């Protein structure tokens, strides 16, 4: 209700410079590509950079063929770059979470019932 009111200000908004935005986009693309390598083609992987009242946010998301979407958000600080170890950890964590979503969505006994 008071979203546009000036007293709803959550503090100064830090925008990314064009170079920081390019570096962050490159890192997100790398995480998404690595995640795609870890998963079968049926999984859809995407990434985006958005801004809200608290500043820029980066998101990588995976839509499994069945089950819920899994995502990871990142709020860049002064140095928005993601190092190699973080990219690998993020990709492996997303892939594992997406695979778990499929497992949870599947029945316990996937074999057809004999009649």
Over residues 55-85, the pLDDT tens digits come to 888 899 999 999 899 999 887 765 666 778 8
- Is 3.30.160 the CATH number for 13-102? yes
> Domain spans of the chain?
13-102
The sheet with strand 70-74 has its strands ordered as 44-52, 55-63, 70-74
Listed residue (94, 80, 85, 82) closest to 51, CA to CA: 80
Would you state the pLDDT for residue 17?
87
- Rounded to 5°, the CA angle 15-20-26 comes to 130
Burial string for 67-105 (b: 16+ CB within 10 Å, else e) reads beebbbebebeeebebeeeebeebbeebbebbbebbeee
Would you state the pLDDT for residue 81?
65
Would you state the pLDDT for residue 91?
93
9: pLDDT strictly greater than 70: no
Would you state the pLDDT for residue 14?
65
Q: What is the end-to-end Cα distance of the chain in Å, rounded?
A: 58
Task: Give the position of tokens 């209700």.
Answer: 1
In this prediction the pTM is: 0.75
Sorting pLDDT into bands at 50, 70 and 90, what band is 6?
very low
């Amino acid at each position: 209700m008071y979203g546009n009111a000036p007293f709803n200000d959550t503090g100064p908004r830090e925008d990314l410079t064009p170079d920081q935005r390019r570096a962050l986009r490159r890192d997100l693309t790398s995480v998404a590509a690595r995640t795609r390598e870890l998963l079968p083609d049926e999984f859809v992987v995407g990434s985006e950079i958005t801004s809200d009242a608290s500043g820029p946010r980066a998101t990588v998301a995976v839509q499994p063929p069945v089950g819920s979407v899994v995502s990871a958000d990142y709020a860049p600080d002064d140095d928005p770059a993601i190092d190699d170890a973080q990219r690998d950890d993020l990709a492996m964590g997303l892939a594992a979470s997406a695979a778990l979503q499929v497992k949870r969505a599947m029945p316990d006994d996937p074999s057809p019932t004999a009649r």
